Amino acid sequence: MSDDTRAARGPAPSLTATQLLLARRAPLHASLSPDGSLLALTTSSLAAGTEDETISFTLVDVATGDERPVPGAGADDRIGVWSPDGNTLAVLTEREGTTTLSVIPFGDASGAGARVLFGAAHVVGPPVWSPDGRTIAVPCRRGEVIDRTRPYRWSRPIPAFDGLGPLEDPPQIRLVDVASGEGRWVTDDGWRWGMPRWSPDGTRLAAVASLDPTGRQVGQFLRIIDVEPSGTSEPHAPDVPDVPGGRTLVATWLADGRLVVLIGEPRDRPSGTEARIVVVDGDDVGVVTLRGGVRLLGDVYGDNPAELADSYETVLLADTGSSVIVRTGSRGRMGIARLDVDSGTIDVLVDGDRCASPIAAIGDVLVFTTQSCERPVELAVVPLVGDGGERQLTSCSDGGPTRVVARRFVVAGPSLSNDQHAAGGLELDAWFLRDVDAGDGPLPTVLVVHGGPQFAFGESFNVDVHALCAAGFGVLYTNPRGSTGWGDAFAHAVHSDWADGPTQDVLAVVDHAIAEGWVDGARLGVTGNSYGGYLSAWLSATTDRFRAAVIENPVTDLVAMWGTSDIGFGFFSAQFGGPPRDRMDVYVAQSPLHQAHRSTTPSLFVVGEVDRRCPPAQAWAMHRVLVSVGTPSEVLVLPGSSHEGSTYGPSAARFAHDDALVEWMTRWVGVG
């Protein structure tokens, strides 16, 4: 087999660490019954030693943790949501290759009562029951697909969005009558609609609209839909004045009819600005001033298929009176708090060295996901009142505890240059992970860089990291300038400085770990995805510190990214102070592609074949330069994979990525 057509390595004869980790069940969706007694849970897993995915749809008894199949559910049913009276589950099901909606009367063991609601087809999100239980709101596609085997014309600014595919058929909100099964549209435009939320009186829907068909507005936006009793009027959902768009937006109604909105990275502030909460009361919009220094939302990158822990659907939940349950985030950790929106007071409910995310709060029960860099995702419960302690609810990790232990530490980093941050006040949170039997070092070590750049690493579980540790490597990561969870000035410090400042930060952490005797400074590798791929490419070309690099879905040419990435037009202008025509010198000077001819670092590029965020050409261009100067370079192509394909994509892609990561580092860095 020639070098230029080498195939990805096949499965090893014995089970790899990645195969064992992905054989554990990963929670995808959960819905708590109105009385707080039962959890409808959807999980996925890959049969050990195979690429076969199994979806399980079960009921978990909240009091005991006992788990059983959902009575009356079919093999293709999943993502169940309880009706307000707790007597019915609305579920997504596959019918002849199309996702549709069914209702299952709870307790009907024969399944005879299960009924398909034919008014909902091409469903793309969880169903949401109206307060009276008569109607279900659900995002659906209309089935209007272009025949791409024939010539066609296009007017949108981009043809497709990463992970979503072509954009000619964006989901709209459809109302389905539970009794008759008939449906009607309440939105009908070119926006992408999702996350509908019913007002307490059932007359309005708050929903999120994104992907402006003109491309002029970037982000997600709040819309409020007046629900007409029939479909006679034209669907209409006006803008909500004074509520800015955001990178992500989640809303929930209070019992008194006010709407609470969590805005992640508000678009009226610089890119990377901390999340804030506003309250919509009729025509009045007020910003909630938080007391106690707690930061909201939190975004900590993981690398595991437990989508429930990453979902924004439930990061904001109505509680009682004027309070909400909200996810918090700071310095690589995520917790949960109760926030009174009238006073701004915060009561922390869940915290510690972990990442937690709320799922449901009913009565005195809070259900949430919990994980750490050492422990995979599980569901747990904690009482909202009284003195009862936290209790793990699920046992998804049947394989037992992992073999990785973490050392958490802080490094004094270089001073930030932006005026908003006091000189000398920078601290870099960092983690060093190793196998429990690897000893204290010094170990050959792989530096892992997170994406974003305005996200964070920390206590999220990472399959890649555990696979490297199982192979004998130490793994080191940190949150350099630009990361979230340490304040606006820290996050904004990466603007127009993607390269030099973050390089100083990560190398300061590397040098500290070497000085402590944990890391073998002569045997270092570097890897990362997205912005992590960018900085890995930059480090591989501008330093000689690393013996090898695995560069996944990278940015290498900032000018090309501005025009070809699905988010490039707005994102890069915000990051670099304008489009390339105004800042060409900055774009070119900080592009790894223009440093690649200097690189002597053996580099493996990993590309998702349908990555629209960082198109594969970004990796291929730098690979071509490395080959031309004689630097060892290969490209691993993941068919059918988007930007996060090695995490949520086809199982073959997940295995191939981790196998290649471990093989490349073993070949060039060495272990033992």
Q: What is the CATH number of the domain that holds 338?
A: 2.120.10.30
Please give the DSSP secondary-structure letter assigned to residue 649. S
Q: What is the pLDDT of residue 305?
A: 94
Answer yes or no: are the C-beta atoms of 218 and 196 closer than 8 Å. Answer: no
Domain shared by 354 and 308, yes or no: yes
What pTM value is reported for the model?
Answer: 0.95
The residue among 369, 398, 427 that closes a domain is 398
pLDDT band at 490 (very low <50, low <70, confident <90, very high): very high
Q: How many CA atoms lie within 13 A of 223 on its CB side?
A: 25
Please tell me the distance from the alpha carbon of residue 289 to that of residue 284, in angstroms, as a whole number: 16
Same structural domain for residues 528 and 387? no
pLDDT at residue 233 above 60?
A: no
Return d(Cα 568, Cα 591) in angstroms, integer. 15
Number of neighbours of residue 215 by Cβ within 10 angstroms:
12
Q: Are residue 337 and residue 438 in the same domain, yes or no?
A: no
Task: Round to whole Å and give the CA distance between 448 and 605.
Answer: 15
Residue 377 CA to residue 357 CA, distance in Å, equals 10
Q: What is the pLDDT of residue 399?
A: 62
Confidence at residue 124, expressed as pLDDT on a 0 to 100 scale? 96
Residue 10's pLDDT is 44
DSSP 3-state of 406 = strand
Listed residues 335, 364, 398: the one ending a domain: 398
Q: Verify that 355 and 412 share a domain, yes or no.
A: no
Stretch 479-507: mean pLDDT, rounded?
Answer: 96
What's the token pair of residue 299? 């975004």
380 and 426 both lie in a single domain: no
pLDDT in tens, 633-649: 999 999 999 999 999 99
Residue 279 lies in a domain: yes
Residue 187 domain flag: no
- The number of folded domains in the chain is 2
Sheet with 67-69: list strands edge to edge.
Answer: 26-32, 38-46, 53-61, 67-69
Q: Residue 277 CA to chain centroid, in angstroms?
A: 20
389 and 530 fall within a common domain: no
Are both 299 and 447 inside the same structural domain? no
Residue-wise pLDDT tens digits, 395-437: 988 766 789 999 999 999 766 654 444 334 578 999 999 999 9
Mean pLDDT of 64-90: 95
Q: Is residue 2 part of a domain?
A: no
Judge if 425 and 394 occupy the same domain. no
- Please classify residue 578 by burial: count the beta carbons closer than 10 Å to its beta carbon, then call 0-12 exposed, 13-18 middle and 19+ buried: middle
Give domain status of residue 442, yes or no. yes
- What CATH code is carried by the domain that includes residue 445? 3.40.50.1820
Sheet holding 259-266, edge to edge: 192-198, 204-210, 220-226, 246-253, 259-266, 276-281, 284-287
632 with 527, same domain: the answer is: yes
Q: Which of 367, 382, 398 is the last residue of a domain?
A: 398
Tell me if 466 is assigned to some domain: yes
Distance, CA of 375 to CA of 256 (rounded, Å): 40
> Are 306 and 320 in a shared domain?
yes
The 3 state secondary structure assigned to 285-333 is EEECCCCCCCCECCCECCECCCHHHHCCCCCEEECCCCEEEEEEEECCE
| 284 in the same domain as 386 | yes
Any domain includes 297: yes
Quick one: 523 and 550 in the same domain? Answer: yes
Q: Which residue has the tokens 């909202």?
A: 384
Preceding amide of 442 cis, omega within 30: yes
For 309, residues 6+ apart whose C-beta sits below 8 A from its C-beta are 27, 302, 355, 357, 369, 371, 377, 460
Q: Which domain holds residue 359?
A: 240-398
